[in-house]
C-alpha cells in the first residue's frame, strides 16, 4: 500500500493521481499498528494521531487565524478540538496559499473551481521540526473551491455538509 502511494504520487507506472495517492495513504493509516505518542507517551488513537496533544496544538493557534465570522470560527475550532484522526477536522487557510485557480464546473447554487493548495492539509505532528506534517506530494494538493455569494449563505446545515464531504472545500467570502 505504501508503494501504491508512491506510485500514484510520482506517476510511476501509472498516471499521477493525488486523490488515489491520498486514498491509499489513508488505507495505510487504517491498517498500521497504533503506536505511542512521543510527547505524552499515550497510545495513538489513530495513525500518528494523539488527540490530547493535537487538541493543545490547535488550541494554541486559535488566536493566529480568523475567518472574521464568529460562527465559522467556532465551527472550525470545534472540529479541531474533537478530531480523532487527520481527516476529521477543518482548517482556515489564507487565500494566497492557493495557486492555479481554474473554473471547473457549475454546481447547484454556485460555481466550482479547482486549485492547488501549496502546502496541503495536516496529517500528523512532526516532533523533530515541532510543526505539522502536511500532505502535498511535493507539487501541492488539489482542492475544490466552492464560491459563495455572501457569508450570509453560511448556516449550520451548510457547514455540516462541508464537514461530511470527503473533498476539501474552501469557502470564499465576498465582502
Ligand atoms: Zn500525546
123 C-alpha to ligand 1 centroid (Å): 15
Per-residue pLDDT averaged across 2-29, rounded? 83
95 C-alpha to ligand 1 centroid (Å): 31
- Among candidate residues 115, 49, 44, the one with its CA nearest the CA of residue 87: 49
What pLDDT is stored for residue 152 in this prediction?
A: 59
**Those residues with Cβ within 8 angstroms of residue 140's Cβ, 6 or more apart along the chain or in another chain:** 99, 116, 117, 118, 119, 120
38 C-alpha to ligand 1 centroid (Å): 7
- The pLDDT-based confidence of 106 (bands split at 50, 70, 90) is confident
C-alpha cell at 38: 512521543
Beta strands in the chain (DSSP E): 98-106, 111-117, 122-126, 131-134, 141-147, 169-172
C-alpha cell at 79: 472540529
What pLDDT is stored for residue 166 in this prediction?
A: 42
Using one digit for the tens of pLDDT, what is the confidence trace for 60-69?
999 999 888 8
Query: Where is pLDDT greater, at 173 or 19?
Result: 19
Residues 25 and 5 sit within 8 Å (Cβ to Cβ):
yes
147 C-alpha to ligand 1 centroid (Å): 37
What pLDDT is stored for residue 167 in this prediction?
A: 44
131 C-alpha to ligand 1 centroid (Å): 14
Q: Is the pLDDT of residue 52 over 70?
A: yes
159 C-alpha to ligand 1 centroid (Å): 29
52 C-alpha to ligand 1 centroid (Å): 6
172 C-alpha to ligand 1 centroid (Å): 34
C-alpha cell at 161: 455538509
The residue whose grid cell reads 487538541 is 55
Amino acid at each position: 500500500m505504501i508503494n501504491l502511494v508512491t506510485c500514484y504520487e510520482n506517476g510511476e507506472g501509472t498516471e499521477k493521481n493525488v486523490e488515489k495517492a491520498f486514498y491509499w495513504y489513508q488505507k495505510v493509516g487504517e491498517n498500521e499498528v497504533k503506536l505511542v505518542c512521543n510527547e505524552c507517551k499515550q497510545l495513538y488513537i489513530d495513525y500518528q494521531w494523539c488527540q490530547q496533544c493535537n487538541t493543545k496544538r490547535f488550541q494554541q493557534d486559535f488566536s493566529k487565524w480568523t475567518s472574521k465570522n464568529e460562527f465559522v470560527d467556532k465551527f472550525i475550532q470545534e472540529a479541531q478540538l474533537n478530531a480523532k484522526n487527520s481527516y476529521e477536522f477543518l482548517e482556515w487557510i489564507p487565500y494566497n496559499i492557493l495557486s492555479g485557480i481554474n473554473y471547473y464546473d457549475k454546481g447547484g447554487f454556485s460555481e466550482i473551481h479547482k486549485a492547488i493548495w501549496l502546502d496541503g492539509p495536516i496529517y500528523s505532528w512532526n516532533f523533530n521540526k515541532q510543526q505539522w506534517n502536511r500532505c502535498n506530494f511535493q507539487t501541492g494538493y488539489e482542492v475544490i473551491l466552492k464560491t459563495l455569494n455572501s457569508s450570509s449563505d453560511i448556516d449550520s446545515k451548510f457547514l455540516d455538509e462541508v464537514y461530511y464531504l470527503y473533498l476539501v472545500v474552501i469557502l470564499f467570502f465576498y465582502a
